[in-house]
Amino acid sequence: MPETNPLPPGSSGLPLIGETLAFLPDIFGFIHTRTARYGPVFRSNILGTPTAFISGPEVCDQWLDENKIQREGAFPPPIMALFGGAGVLPMLDGEVHHTRKGLVLAAFSREALASYLPGLTRTIEARLSRWADGVERAITPELKLLAIEGICGNVLGLGSGAELESLIEDYRLVLRGFTGLPIPLPGTAFHAGLKAKDRVLATLREQVVRHQARPAGDNPDGLSRMLAARAPDGTALTTEQAAKELHHAVLAGAIVFAELAWLMLELDRNPAVRERLVAEVRAASPSGEVTPGQLRQMPYLDQVVMEVKRSCPNVPVSFGKAKAPITIGAMTIPAGWNVMMAVGEHNQNRIFSEPAKFDPDRFSEARAEQKRSPHAFAPQGAGSIERGHKCAGYDYSTLFMQLFTVLLLRSYRWEVPKQDLSLQWGKIPPEFKTGLRLVVRKA
């Protein structure tokens, strides 16, 4: 008989539940400690399913190979339920995925992003102005509101009012549901999240029907662009598909709040970075409307945003399943196993010099550490946006972070009072235990 390669190193844990009880309370820590112990490929058993965790640019080609990894059926049922069930973009494969991706990307084209700037500017400025009263406050809850308000304004065309406020509250409950024990009993965060998800999808279906019944207009929002898009074979989004993809877009985009909080903290910790960035902002966009052309004139801003995306603990894993045996070195991951790409661990890989250090210059033209490997930098998924599994909203989140930074630095200053800056690792994304308390004032 031919020899069989050994399984990746690791542990199957307890009967039935495996290592689930160690995994759920701190996914980042679970992956980090086992990567340090076993290396960038290790095995476990999560929720009763054999699971391989992989990270590092060397394994990304395997992760992106659709002959080896499938996304359909890979999401844990509780997470899939909060996303609204199967059939959403990150759970699709092959041509179905590519077709759906093209339709969704209509909302995030260069032209679309440019059209979102004025409305997003008003949303950010309104929030910043309300914070700038010199009163110490936890900024994380405020940034969550800003993230959802901005996305709903750009993608749904929703302005302030009761409908938006209701959506924001329901998304707060849905996001909490991801971090609770997946027990659908009344009184649990997961049960409340499921109920909120149902209300959200009902609202989004209504939005889709309204948009279908009216012309797109001269300045269409993201939903109008998605509904107008057609695949080469004429395929368009159905009402249900559009509602689910909107829900996915808000869930994926809302976590930008963690990156905005990380940005404000790191700029406070690194005054030289902040002052260099302030000088660039004042030279390129000292006041008035912020344009795409101005943003392109700020290369250091782009470096800072990329470094925040790389260093901020955000989403711990992407989900997949082995369609066929996957051989990595002398190890083999059997067909049928779940395969989790450890995104957070990946962006701390050894390709980067001093990966634990906040260093925007690693992305400068002179150093360009992200070019040391095709897959070194993958904060929102690896591969291309158009054909791969990189998040469709990657460029939108970059724009959001860039615009927030410009508006913040040219008109405001902030202080970080002494506080416990440790993170709550049981939340996704992890949040500062204090909510990141800041004092914001007009500059």
- Cα 417 to Cα 121, 220, 228, 259, 437, distances in angstroms: 27, 42, 49, 19, 7
> What pLDDT is attached to residue 216?
66
pLDDT tens, position by position, for the chain (443 residues)?
344 679 999 999 998 889 989 998 899 999 999 999 999 999 999 988 999 999 988 888 899 999 999 999 999 889 999 999 999 999 999 999 999 999 999 999 999 999 999 999 999 999 999 999 999 999 999 999 999 999 999 999 888 888 889 998 999 899 889 877 788 899 999 999 999 999 999 999 999 999 999 876 767 999 999 999 999 999 999 999 999 999 999 999 999 999 999 999 999 999 999 999 999 999 999 999 999 999 999 999 999 999 999 999 988 999 999 999 999 999 999 999 999 999 989 988 888 999 999 999 999 999 999 999 888 888 888 888 887 788 999 999 999 999 999 999 999 999 999 999 999 998 889 999 999 999 999 99
> What pLDDT is attached to residue 214?
83
The whole-angstrom separation of Cα 67 and Cα 367 is 35
The whole-angstrom separation of Cα 213 and Cα 416 is 48
Q: Into which CATH architecture does domain 20-442 fall? A: Orthogonal Bundle (1.10)
Domain boundaries, the chain: 20-442
| Contact by Cβ (8 Å): 380, 66 | no
| Contact by Cβ (8 Å): 118, 399 | no
- Cα 235 to Cα 229, 238, 253, 326, 401, distances in angstroms: 9, 9, 25, 34, 33
Q: What is the pTM of this model?
A: 0.94
